[in-house]
Amino acid sequence: MLGIETSCDETAAAVVEETADAGRPWIVRSNVVASQADIHREWGGVVPELASRQHVRDICGVVERALEQASLRLDEIDGVAVTEGPGLVGSLLVGVSFAKSLAAARKLPLVPVHHLAGHIESLFLQNGPLALPSAVLVVSGGHTSLYLVTAPGAYRLLGRTRDDAAGEAYDKVAKLLGLGYPGGPVVDRLARQGNDRAIDLPLTRITHADRNAPQLPGRLDFSYSGLKTAVLRHVESRKAAGAWPPSDQEVADLCASFQRVVVESLLDRLFAAAGQYGAASAGIAGGVSANSRLRADALATGEKVGLPVYIPSLALSTDNAAMIAAAGLRRFAAGVRAGADLNADASLTL
């Protein structure tokens, strides 16, 4: 399966192959990503129009490189999987249009994939079959959602962010501190040198149902706008006191304190959901799963409570096409196909 991913600012293509090994049903033959981080850094975040134009420039070369690394010719591909949403609509359209054209020209089956399903399937791609049911946290710059995987390919939404995604909060705090874009890696790096109790920041707890999704109880939802505002007020108070710009240690302490609250909130909901729904395992996927403290604390908590915790490799944590190809193989086996009318859906639900 050739996978294509263009939901935001990474142009990615990969080849994933089925095996006869029940313990590792899929193997990655290639996984190529062309990042646009350098393009968007000067703007402090992703500029949708620039992202779309760069996808157009990169998509052909990225697919060619993925086939080359997999040592395959195009006529040896059995199907094409592509992210249909959610994401930036202009970016999505580049991948969807390319995949539709390729599938039509080569008479290949076309399989549409939800971006978050791809992140969830990255856990199976990395680890093989998980113990089910599994509580899975998908956390990135655009998403913070909690799912119960009841069977392979069956996902039940348990909670989601009410406002900012966790990764988005990282980027906004980094921008506030002048640390550049993307913010997650630099905040994570600086936090290792700081005191995570130096600054008292709020941990949001939600106890009421989401008015936009009243079927969700609320207890497993997330919110990061208040935490972001608390960091802003702390910075403003320091400026008013004439104590700005801060020392390197003060920045490290603020990063560490912010990161502690984010990680505590994520793991609090994840393990609460695992207990509430009798999960046999837990997983964390998405770009923020690359965070060093989140990985370490999740594994330590899982060992403490006796629950296996699965996290993908760093290469499969951030946006990539191998996870899309894996999810495509899952859907292909279930008989899912798309026609020429497939369109990008920026707000596609899972």
Q: How many CB atoms lie within 10 A of CB 241?
A: 8
Residues in CB range of 97: below 8 A, 6 or more apart: none
Q: Which residue has the tokens 């195009």?
A: 74
Cα radius of gyration rounded to whole Å, the chain:
20
Report how far residue 283's alpha carbon sits from residue 138's, in angstroms, rounded to the nearest whole number.
8
**Complete domains list, the chain, with CATH:** 2-119+317-333 (3.30.420.40), 132-307 (3.30.420.40)
Determine the 3-state secondary structure of 44 from DSSP: coil
**Residue range 56-85, pLDDT digits in tens:** 999 999 999 999 999 999 999 999 999 999
For residue 307, report the phi and psi dihedrals to the nearest 5 degrees: -120, 120
pLDDT single digits (tens) 153-210: 999 999 999 999 999 999 999 999 999 989 999 999 999 999 999 999 988 766 666 6
Note the pLDDT of residue 301: 98
- Cβ contacts of residue 337 below 8 Å, gap of 6+? 109, 110, 111
Contact 322, 28 (CB under 8 A): yes
- Which pLDDT belongs to residue 249? 97
3-state secondary structure of 139: strand
Kind of pairing, strands 154-160 and 281-285? unpaired
Count CB atoms within 10 A of the CB of residue 112: 24
Q: What is the pLDDT of residue 212?
A: 62
Residue ranges in the chain modelled with pLDDT below 50: none
What whole-number distance in Å separates Cα of residue 240 and Cα of residue 326? 52
